[in-house]
Chain A
Amino acid sequence: MSEPAPPKKDADEPADEATEQTPVTTGASSVVRALENAGVEAAFGVQGGAIMPVYDALWHSDIHHVTMAHEQGAAHAADAFGVVRNEPGVCLATSGPGATNLVTGIADANMDSDGVLALTGQVPSEMVGSDAFQETDTIGVTTPITKHNYFAAEADSVGDTVGEAFALAGEGRPGPTLVDLPKDVTMDETDRQPGPAKTPKTTTPKTTPDKAAVADAARAIEAAERPLLLLGGGVIKADATDEARAFAREFGIPVVTTMPGIGSFPEDDDLCLSWAGMHGTGYANMAITHTDLLVAVGTRFDDRLTGGVDSFAPEAEVVHVDIDPAEISKNVHADYPVVGDAATTLDRLADEVATEPDAGEWREQCLTWKDEYPMDYATPEDEPLKPQFVVECLDEATSDRAVVTSGVGQHQMWAAQYWTFTEPRTWVSSHGLGTMGYGLPAAIGARLAAEDDQEVVCVDGDGSFLMTIQELSVAVREELDITVAVLNNEYIGMVRQWQDAFFEGRHMAAEYNWCPEFDKLAEAFGARGWRVDDYDEVADAIEEALAYDGPSVIDFHIDPRENVYPMVASGGANGKFALTEDQL
């Protein structure tokens, strides 16, 4: 029999011991040491054969490891942790199915330019290629969905590799990186300390914009009559929200955001028209349709934003500021391309613009559109609960800095439309990949990353919640104060909306009236649960759930016929958004 295992360090131990770093004796301890050197506080993962040496090395580390119920949850939790902290999040999984289960979360991070470091176990080097137990070509599988991935070759250098992968994930335009760790590499002895983390020489981004490019863009801004600032997720990742706000206000330029850009500009500001695109506000889509100069910062002009490119901002010259040169003129031609960091470039641009554009009439026009296309909705009391009302009540009951996560579908759109966001890194969602099930694990990651006075609310749908509901067990075990608000319409609602609009109402595989009762299921997990059917129960349930210091679930049974509007048909013109179904 082996000796009894030493006790896992916990909070009772003296602080000075708790701050010691992991001594490097093996490849695995070098991996953990590299994470500690990078300042990693939390990691999310699931144990398994090939990653066991790394987990063993975590035994003595201060890194808070959160065991998730499924590796997909680990990747999403790491992603959301990183979004809220604005640094790469870390997830771990074993080889084979552990690694393939991470794939959805890695692809999600890749589409949203979220920094994530994934560490995967791998079968021992000598068995690679033999179709060994739990072997998958993780490098091959993840190459198209990572910034870069590394196959660790030896124990001596594996710490440096992990340090580089972490640094690369956060450098320039962030994104996911992965290190595949063969078990012999992590088991082998080494006493080599990982050096300071360095990013590769070949990836250094250009952060300072060309002077001439900035000057050209400034002349265009001075001359514009209908200028519009389009702020994307890159503004938040570059920590450029102060610069963006100052720029818009100094020159009186109205602002729209993309969905990932939500929070870059306060939505309650007169200049702000909220977000544009398929389900963006009518006024944002009118502005983007009629602007004569679109100043786009940190956006990749996703098709959900542009609609059909042929009719996108058809009157506008485009200034495109991005740190990734490959995004310039990829989807929409940039008349004024500016490669650089968003904060630096907006600063330089503010210095260079000599006179405020003469845009008084245009600002008036934008305000008129706000009146013409209000987001008001009917709340007939003899009809089922409206989801928009639930979102507004949640917003009202929480602080400005509350973090909102979501799944994907109708509930996500209502959350984005009816919550008034004012701060960056408070809207945490799956945009580019559109991953149902993102919301709950993201709330877990966000809870661990956010400050104590920030509420964490997951606005979820019945279909999305069911996809990763097992992570509720993690929230219970970790005693995480999160509130899940399920907007339950017993449909995979966005599909049902499209079936009504484009498939003559045939609800093939879209009815979800077979879902479990989420309030009772929450109680079974050890969380608190509420069910709400009527308007007069909404406020109380929200108050009780927010007051409960632990995971809570409110199952809001909403109007199953409610759809998301405005809506721009796929590939259609933003200016032709439908306000009701008959307009599609």
Chain B
Amino acid sequence: MSSDDSNETTDLPKHGLAGPRPEERPHPEGRRNSQGIRIDPEVEAEHDPRRAVISALVENEPGVLSRVAGLVSRRQFNIESLTVGPTTVDGHARITMVVEEPDPGIDQIEKQMAKLKPVISVGELDDDAVRAELVLLKVEGDEPDKVHAITEMYEGKTLDAGPRTITVQLTGDERKIDDAIDAFRQFGIIEIARTGQTALARGDQATVPGEKPGTAGEPTTPTNYDD
């Protein structure tokens, strides 16, 4: 490509290369958005951030939680809550995670999670999934009767009542818990512990593949991950 003979290369710049300058070249009009999707700039849709519930079946080995949590935060997704516990299959656990989706990219998190060796299956739950969380509230004990009434109203339970503090337990979906916490503020909330949401798919649909239905309470050996 080159020439040793400087006479032949006099039309070349001393440094750099020859050719039409950028402004002399044709440039296409089209554009892509930040997800790499080709767009018509005039009709580009605004995307509202949303929250998604991710459920994963994992092999319950040491470090699995930190692998999952580390992966999600490394990819710049914000974890709002995370719960984990055993399933009907011996040695398996279910992780339920609520994440905030900054861009439409929840499927990217699912696909990255699916690559982790201990992850058996992973999926996003539909909007109609059954969801619940549990909260413990420690409030000032000055008005025990009123605290009791509010606890009843939200179908909660009093776990501890002393001369200075009362601790109650409430369960339900996220909205109910938020409302209840608002209602208890009048007494003076000292401490809150929330578990975060856990969830299962509604009806006979599997939440994610991998856990055999109808075996609750009887641990089974992990067998075939394909079904």
Residues of A that sit less than 8 Å from B by CB: 139-140, 143-144, 147-148, 151, 168, 200-203, 282, 286, 289-290, 301, 309-312, 314-317, 324-326, 328-333, 372-381, 383, 386, 388-389, 392, 418, 535, 561-563, 565-566, 573, 575-581, 583
Q: Which residue of A lies closest to B120 (CB)?
A: A202
Given contacts A202-B59, A326-B108, A372-B19, contact A290 B26 (CB under 8 A): yes
Contact of A376 among B18, B25, B119 (CB under 8 A): B18
CA distance A334 to B140 in the complex (A): 57
The answer to whether B146 has its CB under 8 Å from any CB of chain A is no
Residues of A within 8 A of B26 (CB): 290, 575
CB–CB B12/A282 < 8 A: no
CB–CB A309/B36 < 8 A: yes
CB–CB B15/A563 < 8 A: yes
CB–CB B30/A314 < 8 A: yes
Residues of A within 8 A of B34 (CB): 309-310
CA distance A143 to B117 in the complex (A): 12
CB–CB B28/A289 < 8 A: yes
CB within 8 Å of A: which B15-48 residues: 15-22, 25-38
Q: Which residue of B lies closest to A289 (CB)?
A: B28
Count of chain B residues with Cβ under 8 Å from any Cβ of A?
Answer: 51
Query: Which of B62-70, B123-131, B186-194 faces chain A?
Result: B62-70
CB–CB B67/A418 < 8 A: no
CA distance A335 to B4 in the complex (A): 47
The answer to whether B111 has its CB under 8 Å from any CB of chain A is yes
Given contacts A380-B6, A563-B16, A581-B16, contact A310 B108 (CB under 8 A): no
The answer to whether B195 has its CB under 8 Å from any CB of chain A is no
CB–CB A580/B31 < 8 A: no
CA distance A325 to B34 in the complex (A): 19
Given contacts A202-B119, A377-B2, contact A565 B59 (CB under 8 A): no
Residues of A within 8 A of B38 (CB): 314, 316-317, 333
| Min C-beta distance of B127 to chain A, whole Å | 23
Residues of B within 8 A of A328 (CB): 111
Residues of A within 8 A of B108 (CB): 326, 329-330
Residues of B within 8 A of A379 (CB): 2-4, 6, 9
The answer to whether B153 has its CB under 8 Å from any CB of chain A is no
| Min C-beta distance of B75 to chain A, whole Å | 10
What are 14 residue pairs bridging A and B, where the CB atoms are less than 8 Å apart in the complex? A140-B66, A143-B66, A202-B59, A314-B28, A315-B30, A326-B112, A328-B111, A376-B12, A378-B12, A379-B3, A380-B6, A418-B1, A575-B26, A579-B17
| Min C-beta distance of A289 to chain B, whole Å | 6
Residues of B within 8 A of A309 (CB): 32, 34, 36
The answer to whether B175 has its CB under 8 Å from any CB of chain A is no
CA distance A33 to B50 in the complex (A): 52
CA distance A324 to B71 in the complex (A): 16
The 7 closest A-B pairs by CB, nearest first: A580-B16, A314-B30, A332-B36, A326-B111, A333-B37, A378-B12, A148-B117
CB–CB B225/A579 < 8 A: no
The answer to whether B115 has its CB under 8 Å from any CB of chain A is yes
CB–CB A573/B27 < 8 A: yes
Q: Which residue of A lies closest to B22 (CB)?
A: A576
CA distance A578 to B23 in the complex (A): 10
Residues of B within 8 A of A392 (CB): 1-2
The interface bits of chain B over 109-142 (1 if a CB of A lies within 8 angstroms of the residue's CB, else 0) are 0011011111110000000000000000000000
CB–CB A378/B6 < 8 A: yes
| Min C-beta distance of B64 to chain A, whole Å | 11
CB–CB A579/B15 < 8 A: no
Residues of A within 8 A of B164 (CB): none
CA distance A363 to B120 in the complex (A): 47
CA distance A315 to B30 in the complex (A): 6
CB within 8 Å of A: which B77-131 residues: 107-108, 111-112, 114-120
| Min C-beta distance of B22 to chain A, whole Å | 4
CA distance A329 to B108 in the complex (A): 8
Given contacts A373-B19, A579-B19, contact A378 B62 (CB under 8 A): no
Residues of A within 8 A of B14 (CB): 378, 380, 383
CB–CB B17/A376 < 8 A: yes
The interface bits of chain B over 184-227 (1 if a CB of A lies within 8 angstroms of the residue's CB, else 0) are 00000000000000000000000000000000000000000100
Given contacts A563-B15, A580-B13, contact A201 B225 (CB under 8 A): yes
Contact of B2 among A140, A373, A388 (CB under 8 A): A388
Q: Which residue of A lies closest to B224 (CB)?
A: A201
Contact of A583 among B22, B28, B59 (CB under 8 A): B22
Residues of B within 8 A of A535 (CB): 4
CB–CB B13/A378 < 8 A: yes
Residues of B within 8 A of A580 (CB): 13, 15-17
Q: Which residue of A lies closest to B13 (CB)?
A: A580
CB–CB B15/A581 < 8 A: yes
CB–CB B117/A203 < 8 A: yes
Contact of A566 among B17, B37, B66, B71 (CB under 8 A): B17
Residues of A within 8 A of B4 (CB): 379, 389, 535
Contact of B32 among A332, A386, A562, A579 (CB under 8 A): A332
CB–CB A376/B2 < 8 A: yes
Residues of A within 8 A of B20 (CB): 372-373
| Min C-beta distance of A31 to chain B, whole Å | 20
| Min C-beta distance of B172 to chain A, whole Å | 34
CA distance A326 to B111 in the complex (A): 5
CA distance A376 to B71 in the complex (A): 46
Add 20 more A-B contacts to A202-B119, A583-B22 (CB < 8 A).
A143-B66, A143-B70, A144-B74, A148-B117, A202-B117, A202-B118, A314-B30, A314-B32, A317-B38, A329-B35, A329-B107, A373-B17, A376-B2, A377-B17, A379-B3, A573-B27, A575-B26, A579-B16, A580-B15, A580-B17
CA distance A375 to B31 in the complex (A): 29
Residues of B within 8 A of A144 (CB): 70-71, 74
Q: Which residue of B lies closest to A418 (CB)?
A: B1
Given contacts A314-B28, A374-B1, A376-B2, contact A579 B18 (CB under 8 A): yes
| Min C-beta distance of A544 to chain B, whole Å | 20
CA distance A321 to B120 in the complex (A): 24
Residues of A within 8 A of B32 (CB): 309-312, 314, 332-333
Given contacts A202-B118, A381-B6, A578-B22, contact A333 B17 (CB under 8 A): no
Residues of B within 8 A of A286 (CB): 25
CA distance A317 to B38 in the complex (A): 8
| Min C-beta distance of B61 to chain A, whole Å | 10
Residues of B within 8 A of A562 (CB): 15
